Amino acid sequence: MLKFRNKEYFKSHFEEWLKSTQEYLEIFDIQGIDDLFDEISDTYDRLRCNDEISDFRGKLFEVIMREKYSTIYCKRDSIMEYGCKVIIDKKEIIYEDIYGNPDYNKKTVDIAGYNFQNAEFYEIKVGPRNFKYNIILYLNKLFDSASKNKISQNLSIGCITMEKRVSLIQNLEAEKKNCDFLNYSNIMIIGREDITKRFFN
């Protein structure tokens, strides 16, 4: 469903997707699934442009990833937050845009899971082109502070995309050409194949 990038693609592939999904319904009895299909169809009809479709897909992908990571950090000794500020040693992690563009300032991370054993912080974008330099610089700042303060035994800070990992790497390399100071060597690059391996095998 996350592949429905525009209305034309949706209209030409929705029925095929619906038919393949029906096969799962023969195995699983899911309450209200027909209503969900109607809502999906209505939502795509209401969305006015490809930017709105991209926003919708992005929010849907975030919800899926939140659900998967929440099962890891649901124990009493863990913390799980979404779209949250990160404060380490009483200092909030903030990136202020080096070019002075306030729209590129960054103060939150999409997913934060923490306990003394593991700490994971991720930015989630359905497509790799949405990972701009400001996100990488923010994550680098977060990595430096978390490492310096040794907040947990294992630290993972990264970018998650629904596309293949190589697509995200290619996009980050393109960003580096515009910002030659950009370094993502400390950032985990997580693509569709990594998500499948961790959560869907």
Number of Cβ within 10 Å of residue 37's Cβ equals 15
Whether the predicted pLDDT of 41 surpasses 90? no
Instruction: Look at residue 19 in the predicted model and tell me its pLDDT.
Output: 84
Domain boundaries, the chain: 72-200
Sheet holding 109-114, edge to edge: 79-84, 109-114, 118-125, 154-161, 188-190
Whether the predicted pLDDT of 24 surpasses 80? no
Instruction: Look at residue 178 in the predicted model and tell me its pLDDT.
Output: 86
- The CATH number fitting domain 72-200, selected from 2.60.40, 3.40.50, 1.10.540, 3.40.1350: 3.40.1350
* Tens of pLDDT, residues 84-108: 999 999 999 999 999 999 999 999 9
Higher pLDDT, 188 or 29: 188
Instruction: Look at residue 156 in the predicted model and tell me its pLDDT.
Output: 97
Whether the predicted pLDDT of 27 surpasses 80? no
Number of Cβ within 10 Å of residue 45's Cβ equals 10
How far apart CA 53 and CA 117 sit, in angstroms, is: 38
Number of Cβ within 10 Å of residue 120's Cβ equals 21
**Under a CB-based contact definition with an 8 Å cutoff, are residues 164 and 127 in contact?**
no
Instruction: Look at residue 131 in the predicted model and tell me its pLDDT.
Output: 95
Higher pLDDT, 6 or 81: 81
**22 contact partners, CB below 8 Å, separation of at least 6:** none
- Which contiguous run of DSSP H or E holds residue 177? helix 165-178
